[in-house]
């Protein structure tokens, strides 16, 4: 939970950042490259893949708090996956021309497309924060369940949600930083 709120605070700081210099943007992109190849990112991507594979096996429990949270987490995983797919399509390779950029070789997204993607990520961030507040209710409902036949699916659903929320929050925070860097790069290069 603490990571989610730290990620949310970081996201706010990123969104409030003023226009940056080309050198700062280049340095940030180098940090992204390093982060993309880090063990932490690889572990997060593996966890996302694992959760995405488990997603369809999560059964309905007939408890609104548990099912609602699990369905929200499934939506977050789909958002993260589709955003990664969009980013792969948008940003195949950014080449630096020495004067501020931008040459994107496969598909050149326009500024409004990145801004829309950023707005979707902000919305996902808010939704993840709201879902995090629903987790205690789902956990309480799990503790209250006495029927042994219903206990396993409820346990699986709550465990799935507990695993999905922080990893989705981290990934959305990273995606937001990346998209905001691309927005600032396009603005700095007057290439929109």
Helix/strand/coil for 94:
strand
Look over the chain and give the mean of its residue pLDDT values, rounded to a whole number. 81
The domain ranges of the chain are 2-188
Q: Which two tokens stand for residue 79?
A: 């958002």
Distance, in Å, from the CA atom of 69 to the CA atom of 137, rounded to the nearest integer, reads 10
Taking only the tens of pLDDT, the chain with its 192 residues reads 555 545 554 445 444 444 467 778 778 877 877 887 889 988 999 999 999 999 999 999 999 999 999 999 999 999 999 888 887 766 545 555 555 555 555 556 678 888 999 999 999 999 999 999 999 999 999 999 898 889 999 999 999 999 999 999 999 999 998 888 888 887 877 655
Is residue 72 packed enough to be buried (19+ CB in 10 Å), middle (13-18) or exposed (0-12)? buried
pLDDT in tens, 59-114: 999 999 999 999 999 999 999 998 888 877 665 455 555 555 555 555 566 788 88
Helix/strand/coil for 182:
helix
125 upstream amide cis, omega within 30 of 0? no
189: left (phi over 0), alpha (psi -120 to 50) or beta: alpha
Distance, in Å, from the CA atom of 163 to the CA atom of 161, rounded to the nearest integer, reads 5
């Amino acid at each position: 939970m603490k990571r989610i709120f730290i990620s949310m605070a970081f996201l706010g700081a990123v969104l409030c950042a003023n226009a940056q210099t080309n050198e700062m943007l280049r340095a940030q992109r180098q940090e992204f490259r390093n982060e993309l190849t880090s063990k932490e990112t690889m572990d997060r991507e593996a966890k996302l893949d694992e959760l995405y594979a488990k997603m369809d096996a999560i059964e309905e429990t007939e408890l609104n708090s548990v099912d609602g949270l699990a369905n929200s987490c499934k939506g977050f995983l789909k958002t993260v996956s589709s955003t990664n797919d969009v980013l792969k399509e948008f940003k195949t390779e950014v080449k630096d021309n020495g004067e501020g950029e931008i040459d994107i070789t496969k598909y050149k997204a326009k500024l409004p497309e990145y801004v829309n993607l950023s707005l979707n990520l902000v919305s996902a961030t808010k939704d993840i924060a709201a879902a995090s507040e629903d987790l205690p209710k789902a956990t309480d409902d799990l503790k209250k369940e006495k029927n042994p036949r219903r206990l396993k699916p409820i346990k699986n659903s709550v465990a799935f949600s507990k695993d999905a929320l922080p990893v989705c929050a981290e990934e959305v925070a990273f995606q937001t930083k990346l998209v905001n860097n691309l927005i600032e790069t396009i603005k700095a290069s007057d290439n929109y």
